[in-house]
Structure 1
Amino acid sequence: MLAAGVLLLAAAAVVVLLAPDRLGLADRTPVAQLVALRGLVACLLVGGAVLLVGAVAGWRQVAGRAGVRRPGWRLPLALAGVLVLGAAAQAAVVVGRGVDGSGAGPAADGDLVVLSFNTFGVVEADDLTALVEQQDADLVVLAETSASTARAVARALTDAGRPTTALAADSESTRVEGVALLVRDSLGGYTQTSAGLPATELGTFAAVRAGGASTAYPARSDVPSDNAYTAYPGRGDVHSDNAYTAHPRRGDVPSDGAHTAPTAYPVDAHAEQTPASPGDTAYPVDTRAERTPASPDDTAYPVDTPAEHTPASPGDTAYPVDTPAEHTPASPGDTAYPVDTGSARTTPPAPDVVVAAHTRAPSAESSMPDWRAHAVGIAEVCRSTPGAIVAGDLNATLDHPGLDDLGPCVDAAAEVGAAGLGTWPADVPRVLAAPIDHVLVDGRAWRVTAFGVLDRVGASDHRPVVAHLARR
């Protein structure tokens, strides 16, 4: 009876880890944590079987020398067999989801390249710039990345001939950085909002294309839709540190090739909104700050000082005026509008909505309710938003609630047979890691042409992922 009970218990554990969703246990501790690491669980099960057999063999030798009764093989071998079968089943799930490690390769002409990477707040801007250039990425979601780092990457990309805008939202946690989104300017202007998104408190936000057809995430009522370069982290008072432009759109920019601007025109919900020039209501002015030149010789990059902001006069280059129009690439010879020379590809189609996400991790029992709500909420955003792209560290796999049934939304890795490769932790082989970093897309609007889990970058504990998308 004891032997039968042990075998039954082992078999039950194997079944739970194999199909926890069918038993309603995929979101329960510790199953939720273990099922995310199927490859590692398979190795542990095989290791357990080997140790069990080895221990019994050693015990039998010692018992024989001591002249005592040796243990039998029936139960240990049966138990080892159950563990090995469990390992094989886990491996079958991983292989079935795809372990194609060939990578995404070069993007096809017209493909939209989406890169997602949790930098853990430790990857340098130079390394990120090199990664974006290497992958020729058009959209880059950076979880646990400071606004200053994102701004530095956007500036470096712009200087390298890839005009880029950085949007960012702060985390409400003091332990992790927020989320940033780098948008290649050839895609057009985007407005940032957190309306309708799960309150992850880690910086999750959506970017809505100016003039896009989607109304799922409209801009705040006090911000015109064509203000494509102001970041709104979802709070009433938006700091200047939350508004980032990689380069200005103004004709008074010096012709020496300097295309980076450390500040933009943030919107303050508690301040009076006045136009930058007569008839210009697209770029509201913060009346609490006066913009003065950064240095006597620098008239293109104004900085805030604690004084009243005044609008520009026609000949005053210290206070450049934005025109209410969507940012477009430069015409030849126009240094105010830098030409995107960083790619030979045709400009890809621009998504109407991009969600840059970082959700809670199931790291403790107290975090489980938030984790469940966030995973389900992010998945619902993808399901219900036509043409949406959702990317980031979702801290969930295809086994977990929300991602286990995406409806019209699809997981890019699963679409091309690479969903068995994990991203965390980065110091173990991909087949042993948890695939918790995702690119989710509306399968009615986008076709996934390639996906890859990339090599480790810097000291981050996550690997980056990249997806190539074609418009249907």
Structure 2
Amino acid sequence: MLPRILGWAVVLGTAALAAILVWPQAFGLQDQWIAAHVVALRGVAAAGGIAAAAVFALLALVRPLRWFAAAMAIVVALFALGNVGVLAVRGAGGAGDAAAAASGSVTVLSWNTLGEVPDATTITDLALAEGADVIVLPETTGPLGEQVAIAMREGGSPMWVHTVAFDEIAKARSTTILISPDLGDYRVVSELVPGPPGNTNTLPSIVAEPVDGDGPRIVAVHAVAPIRWELRNWRSDLDWIAERCAGGNVIMAGDFNGTLDHFAGRGVDGGDLGRCSDAAASAGWAAVGTWPTDLPPMFGSPIDHVLATSDWTVDSFEVIEALDGAGSDHRPIVATLSPAG
């Protein structure tokens, strides 16, 4: 009798844990240790659940373990199915789903360069091919940003360059944004030192506003990764980023080091983060991993984003896989947004 009771306790405990890890936001655990990492890699979690279900199904053929193994197989299979369901709803992207861009559209390109591993030519060629109006480059210093701007000008698409660097200890402590003059003149209004209320905590973000007040606020984002000793800063970064989208007419892009799951509870008036909504979710690409490039996209984590307020509609979005060999551990993303209405 005791082994059966203990067996059922294990099954029920595993079921409870599986439910939490499939949808931790229902329990307020989406930005807590362990749960935050499991939902960040839902494709891997689903594959692990399928493998575990297969193992338990085989063990169910052994008579002494039949009921326990069968019950465990069902639990982990449901865990895998739950993750697959979330990924299916969020969308795996695909070709031919872009709408025609409207007048006044803005194309935003974002690429974490892993400390400038892709060179200026690679970045410029991509930006010119995509017709980028805004280029967000976390882990990129001012000199490389200037090289890209010069190459963009030579390619017929001049850019203004803005860089925020907390220090020169590592290139990850710099973020660069390039903005087309067609959008007007912009000034940086975020602080040049780490920490709220003026900036993110560990890695710099940039808030740029139009000088004449006509145009969107543009936010280049780099939140710290949710490693164990940075969890508090990571949560604070997401809160700070959400506050940058508390008003209207905002476009933000970059490396958020968080997925839609981690944004839960930080949205306002239907937004995913503050009043900003995720372009990938709107276009059906939100399940496609942008990091790391050494995992297939459906097994990676979609932590790079373009978001905008309801002033903008999403014409297209894409996670670019063709540059997985360019050296960065992030995939570039590109979105085209048009004024709403």
The answer on 1:117 being equivalent to 2:111 is yes
Query: Match for residue 200 of structure 1?
Result: 201
The answer on 1:154 being equivalent to 2:139 is no
Query: Match for residue 16 of structure 1?
Result: 20
Preserved contact between residue 7 and residue 68 of structure 2 (Cα < 8 Å): yes
Structure 1 residues 226-280: Cα deviation after superposition (integer angstroms, max 9, x where no partner): xxxxxxxxxxxxxxxxxxxxxxxxxxxxxxxxxxxxxxxxxxxxxxxxxxxxxxx
The answer on 1:355 being equivalent to 2:223 is no
Q: Secondary structure at the match of 1:434?
A: coil
AA aligned to 1:421 is V
**Cα distance in 2, alignment partners of residues 440 and 39 from structure 1:** 23
Count of matched residue pairs: 321
Preserved contact between residue 60 and residue 68 of structure 2 (Cα < 8 Å): no
The answer on 1:466 being equivalent to 2:317 is no
Preserved contact between residue 101 and residue 337 of structure 2 (Cα < 8 Å): no
Q: Evaluate the alpha carbon distance shift between residue 106 and residue 162 of structure 1 in structure 2; reply closer, same or farther with a 3 A threshold.
A: farther
AA aligned to 2:36 is A
Structure 1 residues 9-42: Cα deviation after superposition (integer angstroms, max 9, x where no partner): 2101210111111111111111111111112111
Preserved contact between residue 39 and residue 433 of structure 1 (Cα < 8 Å): yes
AA aligned to 1:466 is V
Q: Which moved more, 1:199-208 or 1:367-376?
A: 199-208
With normalisation by structure 1, the TM-score equals 0.64
Q: Secondary structure at the match of 2:144?
A: helix
Query: Match for residue 75 of structure 1?
Result: 68
Q: Secondary structure at the match of 2:65?
A: coil
Q: Structure 1 or 2: larger helix share?
A: 2
Cα displacement (A) at 1:376:
1.4
Preserved contact between residue 357 and residue 390 of structure 1 (Cα < 8 Å): yes
Q: Secondary structure at the match of 2:111?
A: strand
Query: Match for residue 210 of structure 2?
Result: 209
Structure 1 residues 317-344: Cα deviation after superposition (integer angstroms, max 9, x where no partner): xxxxxxxxxxxxxxxxxxxxxxxxxxxx
**Alignment partner of 2:52 out of 48, 52, 59:** 48
Query: Match for residue 127 of structure 2?
Result: 132
Query: Match for residue 299 of structure 2?
Result: 432
Preserved contact between residue 200 and residue 240 of structure 2 (Cα < 8 Å): no
Cα displacement (A) at 1:424:
0.9
**Cα distance in 1, alignment partners of residues 97 and 156 from structure 2:** 23
Cα displacement (A) at 1:95:
0.8
**Cα distance in 2, alignment partners of residues 173 and 87 from structure 1:** 44
Cα displacement (A) at 1:147:
1.5
Preserved contact between residue 109 and residue 332 of structure 2 (Cα < 8 Å): yes
**Cα distance in 2, alignment partners of residues 208 and 3 from structure 1:** 60
Q: Secondary structure at the match of 1:118?
A: coil
**Alignment partner of 1:448 out of 298, 302, 314:** 314
Q: Which blocks of at least 5 consecutive residues in structure 1 are unaligned?
A: 61-69, 214-350
The answer on 1:416 being equivalent to 2:279 is no
**Alignment partner of 1:374 out of 237, 259, 264:** 237
Cα displacement (A) at 1:402:
5.7
**Cα distance in 1, alignment partners of residues 213 and 173 from structure 2:** 29
With normalisation by structure 2, the TM-score equals 0.88
**Cα distance in 2, alignment partners of residues 189 and 3 from structure 1:** 66
Cα displacement (A) at 1:106:
8.4
Cα displacement (A) at 1:177:
4.2
**Cα distance in 2, alignment partners of residues 450 and 119 from structure 1:** 23
Query: Match for residue 183 of structure 1?
Result: 179
Preserved contact between residue 103 and residue 453 of structure 1 (Cα < 8 Å): no
Structure 1 residues 194-224: Cα deviation after superposition (integer angstroms, max 9, x where no partner): 15543334121111112015xxxxxxxxxxx
Q: Which blocks of at least 5 consecutive residues in structure 2 are unaligned?
A: 192-196, 270-274
Q: Evaluate the alpha carbon distance shift between residue 151 and residue 402 of structure 1 in structure 2; reply closer, same or farther with a 3 A threshold.
A: farther
Q: Evaluate the alpha carbon distance shift between residue 150 and residue 78 of structure 1 in structure 2; reply closer, same or farther with a 3 A threshold.
A: same
Q: Which moved more, 1:180-189 or 1:191-200?
A: 191-200
Q: Evaluate the alpha carbon distance shift between residue 173 and residue 50 of structure 1 in structure 2; reply closer, same or farther with a 3 A threshold.
A: farther
Cα displacement (A) at 1:149:
1.3
**Cα distance in 2, alignment partners of residues 172 and 201 from structure 1:** 11
Cα displacement (A) at 1:415:
1.5
**Cα distance in 2, alignment partners of residues 187 and 92 from structure 1:** 40
Cα displacement (A) at 1:403:
6.7
**Cα distance in 2, alignment partners of residues 428 and 103 from structure 1:** 24
Cα displacement (A) at 1:104:
6.8
Preserved contact between residue 396 and residue 403 of structure 1 (Cα < 8 Å): no
CA RMSD of aligned residues (A): 2.0
Cα displacement (A) at 1:460:
0.7
Query: Match for residue 108 of structure 1?
Result: 101
Q: Secondary structure at the match of 2:176?
A: strand
Q: Secondary structure at the match of 1:422?
A: coil
Q: Evaluate the alpha carbon distance shift between residue 163 and residue 401 of structure 1 in structure 2; reply closer, same or farther with a 3 A threshold.
A: closer
Q: Secondary structure at the match of 1:390?
A: strand
